[in-house]
Structure 1
Amino acid sequence: MITALKSKLRGWLIRPAVSAMLVWSAPVVAQDHADTIYINGVVRTMEAADDVRQAVAVRNGRILATGSTQDLLGHAGAQTSIVDLEGRTMLPGFIDAHGHLSMLAGTIDFANLAPPPVANVRDIPSLQSTLREYIKERDLAPGILVQGFGYDDAQLAEQRHPTRQELDAVAADRPIMLLHASGHLAAGNTRALELAGLLRDAADPAGGVIRREADGTTASGVVEEAAMYRLFALLPRRTMDERMEALGRAQDIYAGYGITTAQDGAASVEDYELLKAADEQGALKIDVAALLFFRAEWPNLATMPIGRQSPTRLSIAGVKLLLDGSPQGRTAWLKEPYHQVPDDRPADYQGYRQVEDDVLRQWIDRAAANHWPLFVHVNGDAAMQQLIDMTAAARSAGSDPAQRTIAIHSQVVGDGQLAQMKALDIQPSFFAAHTFYWGDWHRDVTLGAMRAARISPMRDALDIGLVPTIHNDTPIVPPDIMRLVWAAVTRTTRSGAQLGIEEAATPYEALLMVTRNAAWQIGEEQDKGTIAVGKEADLVVLDADPLTTDPAQLDKIAVARTISDGVEVYGAGS
């Protein structure tokens, strides 16, 4: 029903009557009664820093009017619901600038192996005990795969990955597969490695590494990047009903953090089919912007509505490319060696690329020819330079630019690269949560103090005139937008240190990057990102005002309500 309503509203938006709604004075005598009026709030429209209203009227899932409580009550009719915000702050619904909704749904029933504050795994013994408890609670039959997600060698007391023997100690008679917190590495026990054909004498795949024991041939248990796909093949196939139910729970998690538009940041064919089915069945509670993963075997990519405005909750925002790995996992591609290289790597180890230049150039040209937006995973400065150079080469050869190019993560951006990005209209989406979750690790282990202080260089990007966003990359970390805003503003690490505070954003800028800028990056700025007449009624209500709260307390601000297309999907009435 929501999908059908949204389709109808696209036509409503362009009616001339909308312009008449912009003209009103106290008291309003409204021709159109509102479905809901939110009153007595601090409504920050994000149209400008000082644009603050008291009330918002909603009709048919769109913003009917904004203004004072007294004026907007003139839009009330017999069936209008009046919601008293009681001084709480209303903002445009948060937009997930980059994350993986399907991946969250796919891992939602895995053993949670994350360190605090997400879960409680602090060392390898607690990882083992968590897995044993998971097997017991689930009553898993012998031989059934044990799945875990979120272990982090950066936070384990041992400062290393678990070995296959340590996972064998949990259960040697069944396969165990653990996905690293970065999403770019995995660990398996002996049985899992055997079943995946990785245990002995397996060759490293292109774009991946099988870490080995001292004999040089036997897998240690840890695999990187493309080598993970062999372990992923062990995952059990779930029914469509099971996947749909998990997708519903994943959406509830997003809504609980005030998110009204999620991203599915590397959708496979199966992921997109699930999202499309959910959209058609009215099972999407929030909007979803899908990015089609370039390595998936799409049967009809040329005919898909990539980068076009959608009349339903599901849109295809662009095509997702992957150029390198993760800095916390030390697989991101850097220009200079890692501060501390992983075991058994040469002293000049710099990570590695995922695609060759000619492959990247072909995708840039293809996107330009089809007017597809490109969303490109680049963490290291070498990967960023590859994107810059291949984009510049395509322009020089006369290729029209892609509709939009977004550099996802943009963690290690070297001197001069932001200016090159601006010249080529490559816009960054910063994984700003890194400063909290892995800031200490980057400073001490992966990057060293100087490079670590410049991760997510938001200040420089804003000052140079780029249009950046910030993101959590869920499920890598939870989709907690207010913690993300806090991290962008304070750049505080787990240990309480500040990491490169000169690259911090202001609270208003951080909010822009999860509302207005985020809508622009996915091409939906006409409908989302600010509270304005005619736009979708995607709204979030917070229990405190982020622009008057002590910045050190921004992560403590709670979400009271989340409204998507005028429907409350989280809060008192949901």
Structure 2
Amino acid sequence: MKLADRVFFGGPIRTMDPSKPTVEAVAVRGGRIVAVGSKMDVERFCGVGTEKTDLKGSAMLPGFVEAHSHPMSSGILWGDPVVDIRAVHEPSFSAVVAKMRRRVAKAEPDEIILFLGLDPQLHEGMEEPSRELLDDIAPNNAILVGTSNTHGMYINTKALAAFGIDADYVPPPDGNVFKAADGLPWKFEETAAWQVMDHFFEICGEERKKRSFEEWIQKFVRAGYTTTSEIGINPGNARMLQAAVKSRPNLLRIIGYESSRGDEITVPLNFGDDDFRMIGVKLWADGSVLLGNVWTTKPYLNNKMTLKGMGLPENSTGHANYSEDKLHELVLKYASEGWQVAIHAHGDRAIDMVLNVYEKVIDKVGPDKVSGPLRIEHCGMMREDQIDRAIRLNVVCSYFLPYIHHWGEAIRDYLLGEERAARFVPSGSATRKGMRVSYHCDSPMTWPNALICLNVAVNRSTMKGAILGPEQRVSMEDALKAITIDAAYHLRMDDKIGSIAVGKYADFVVLGQDPVACEPGRILQIQILGTVVGGTDTEEAVRTASDPSQDRAD
């Protein structure tokens, strides 16, 4: 019997393995788990060179897994020189305008400035910024103003000129553009907004991307994650992301999905390894609830926020980004080639369309040949019958629970009304019906925070203390599955991560207390003490990577 490199003991260890839900100790060798059980059982694997880690009462669980996120996109979008105008910093629209004027006053000639975080739901007195207002703020500089959900962008006249956009501009697939009275584009949505941002970040250069990516990796690590996804990689960028992951000791496993642009995928299936692997394709059936472009059967509420702040027509039911025939064409193509498919869909009409497409593709390709599980992302307005249908098709849902935490009152009072808000992101119903759900924070829209996901799942409480849909609550045990083993299942990694079991990677999170024993009202106060990836503390990996004697790419 080969001896262990390291053993863990001395605190509650929750495995997420139903055959051994809690154990006393875990042994690790070569980055893998070799023994799980009582302390006496595990001590048989100890020798002179075995490192013994006493948890000293802290709890150890499988490392948190986020099935839907964008660490590299987050790094690209946030940080200098982007100007952060989120409501957490500037609570009113007038304060946003004042901050924009102050920044423009310091601008260099011909400098292009991106302001990010405009929020119709949280910025008091918000009105859509007209191009006249943006030109008044910045008559001599190009400025871009992005929404907090990153699905919308407003630009001024100088920006049109800087990016060569005129009245004949045609948005890319899945994108929309709205023109002002003079016929020139003014407001961009979805891929059209992202195209404009891509132009801006090309100007910022590659070194900024690498630096910001490292900063965001640290945010995930500090939040207790050991695996995440990059779900929606721009075509051609997978190799760059792989190089960034491989440039230093791995702190965070990343599973990649390429953003569909209707073209061929730019890397082979399963490109990479367990540190970074490409397995799927991402499509967007509709947009953002907060932007007003999700496709619903029942309209948005009519009020100042929706009509003025968001610029919606009365009784708006949003729209889809594809026809059902076109979405079917794309999904059939990717599924037939062996790619896993994940589709963003918030509105119930969009979810109906996605389920229709998935059912047709399963019938055509065959249930045993589809690279499942097929996924639906966010699922804000999912109905009970749609959950039932998804389960019959073996389709899984990744729910964006921090919507409730950050925007719950706005969703209830101004966007959808009390009944739909109570059922918004109905992960509890899906869990009770037997679906293996996952939860996500969807950075860069919200920062990675597994505790917020757990708190919403268990309490359905907002940041301000309101309770939305208590019937959607689940137990802490079920909530933990959604950010460990079931999230790993979404990423097709549940045979390697997501639970503490012999043969799996030694990926752990250490917490100040056992979440199952925590009072529901104190979940957000749980301390995240550190993570372990492949048997190595990520803090140690950071120190190694920071050693100037190490040959690495900065």
- Give the alignment's TM-score, normalised by structure 2: 0.89
Partner of 2:234: 268
Match of 2:330 in 1: 363
The amino acid that maps onto 1:316 is M
Residue of structure 1 in register with 2:75 after alignment: 105
Structure 2 residue 369 is matched with structure 1 residue 410: no
The answer to whether the 8 Å contact 2:488/2:498 transfers is: yes
Would you say the 8 A contact 1:365–1:399 is kept in 2? no
Secondary structure at the counterpart of residue 235 of structure 1: helix
- In structure 2, the residue matched to 1:145 is 112
Tell me the amino acid that sits aligned with residue 294 of structure 1: S
Deviating more after overlay: 163-172 vs 469-478: 163-172
Q: CA-to-partner distance for each residue in 1:39-95, whole Å, 9 max, x for gaps? A: 211111111397222322221111122234454344333333222211011110011
Report what 1:332 is aligned to: 294
Correspondence 1:560 to 2:522: no
**CA deviation profile, 1:4-30 (whole Å, cap 9, x unmatched):** xxxxxxxxxxxxxxxxxxxxxxxxxxx
Contact kept in structure 1, 2:9 and 2:24, CA below 8 Å: yes
SS at match of 1:563: strand
Q: Distance in 2 between matches of 1:145 and 1:296?
A: 30
- Greater alpha carbon shift after TM alignment, 243-252 vs 396-405: 396-405
Structure 1 SS opposite 2:429: helix
**Preserved contact between residue 85 and residue 117 of structure 2 (Cα < 8 Å):** yes
Amino acid paired to 1:35: D
The residue aligned with 2:209 is: 243
Query: Could you tell me which of 447, 456, 461 is aligned with 1:492?
Result: 461
Deviation at 1:246, TM superposition (A): 2.2
Shift of 1:526: 0.7
Q: Which amino acid aligns with 2:225?
A: I
Report the TM-score, using the length of structure 1 for normalisation.
Answer: 0.86
Partner of 1:78: 48
* SS of equivalent to 1:121: coil
Task: Describe how 1:30-109 pairs up with structure 2 within 5 A.
Answer: 31-48=1-18, 51-109=21-79
Show the counterpart of 1:277: 243
Shift of 1:154: 0.6
How far apart, in 1, do the equivalents of 2:333 and 2:172 lie? Answer: 26
**Alpha-carbon shift at residue 422 of structure 1 (Å):** 1.3
Identity of aligned residues (%): 25
1:315 corresponds to 2:277:
yes
How far apart are 1:204 and its partner, in Å? Answer: 7.0
Do the aligned partners of 1:257 and 1:481 also contact (CA within 8 Å) in 2? yes
Q: Which moved more, 1:382-391 or 1:231-240?
A: 231-240
8 Å Cα contact 2:508-2:533 kept in structure 1: yes
2:393 to 424, 433, 436: 424
Query: Which moves more between the two structures, 224-233 or 255-264?
Result: 224-233
Which residue of 401, 406, 422 corresponds with 1:453? 422
Q: 1:282 to 1:297 in 2, by over 3 A?
A: farther
Match of 1:4 in 2: none
Q: Which moved more, 1:264-273 or 1:564-573?
A: 564-573
Q: 1:422 to 1:472 in 2, by over 3 A?
A: same
Q: Which amino acid aligns with 2:14?
A: R
Supply the distance in 1 between the matched residues of 2:55 and 2:240 (Cα, whole angstroms).
Answer: 36
**What are the ranges of 5 or more consecutive residues in structure 1 without an aligned counterpart?**
1-30
Report the AA paired with residue 86 of structure 2. A
1:191 counterpart = 2:161: no
User: Residue 394 of structure 1 is aligned with which of 354, 361, 376?
Assistant: 361
Residue 472 of structure 1 corresponds to 441
Contact 2:151 2:287 in 1 (8 A): yes
SS of alignment partner, residue 104 of structure 1: helix
Cα distance in 2 between the residues matched to 1:290 and 1:398:
23
Aligned to 1:227: 192
How much does 1:534 deviate? 1.2
Aligned mate of 1:292, from 254, 258, 272: 258
Aligned residue pair count: 533
Alpha-carbon offset, residue 129 of structure 1:
4.8
- Conserved? CA contact 1:63–1:535, under 8 Å: yes
Letter in 1 for 2:239: E
CA deviations on 1:429-466 (whole Å, 9 max, x unpaired) are 11111111121111112211111111111121112221
Q: Could you list the per-position Cα deviations for residues 288-345 of structure 1 after superposition, in whole angstroms to 9, with x for gaps in the alignment?
A: 00001111744655xx124x8x544111131111110011111111122112353464
Q: Distance in 1 between matches of 2:110 and 2:246?
A: 37
Residue 32 of structure 2 contacts residue 505 of structure 2 at CA under 8 Å; is this kept in 1?
yes
Could you tell me which runs of 5 or more consecutive residues in structure 2 were left unpaired when the two chains were aligned.
544-554
2:489 maps to 1:523? no
Residue aligned with 1:393, SS: helix
- When structure 1 is superposed on structure 2, of 124-133 and 411-420 the one drifting more is 124-133
Aligned mates of 1:154, 1:335 — CA distance in 2: 22
Q: What is residue 479 of structure 2 aligned with on the other side?
A: 510
2:87 equivalent in structure 1: 115
Give the C-alpha shift of residue 200 in structure 1.
6.0
Give the Cα separation in 2 of the matches to 1:571 and 1:159: 46
1:482 and 1:493 map into 2 onto residues whose CA distance is: 13
2:226 maps to amino acid: T
**Higher mean C-alpha displacement, 238-247 vs 326-335:** 238-247
User: Can you list the C-alpha shifts for 1:263-289, whole angstroms capped at 9, x where unaligned?
Assistant: 101001243121122244446431100
Shift of 1:126: 2.9
What is the CA deviation profile of residues 387-435 of structure 1, one whole-angstrom value per residue up to 9, with x for unaligned ones? 1112223344565562210101111112411111112111111111111
1:305 aligns with 2:277: no
Shift in alpha-carbon separation, 1:348–1:159, aligned structure 2, 3 A? same
**Residues of 1 paired with 2:40 and 2:249: CA distance?**
37
Look up the match of 1:27.
Answer: none
Contact 2:104 / 2:141 at 8 angstroms: preserved in 1?
no
Match of residue 11 from structure 1: none
Preserved contact between residue 490 and residue 498 of structure 1 (Cα < 8 Å): yes
For residues 88 and 283 of structure 1, do their structure 2 counterparts lie closer, same or farther at Cα, with a shift above 3 Å needed?
Answer: closer
How far apart, in 1, do the equivalents of 2:54 and 2:489 lie?
A: 31
Q: How does 1:163-174 map to 2 (within 5 A)?
A: 163-168=130-135, 170-174=137-141
Relative to structure 1, is the Cα distance of residues 397 and 290 closer, same or farther in structure 2, using a 3 angstrom cutoff?
A: closer
- Residue identity in the other structure for 1:360: L
Letter in 2 for 1:228: A
Counterpart Cα distance in 1 of 2:509 and 2:520: 19
Check conservation: 2:71, 2:443, Cα contact below 8 A.
yes
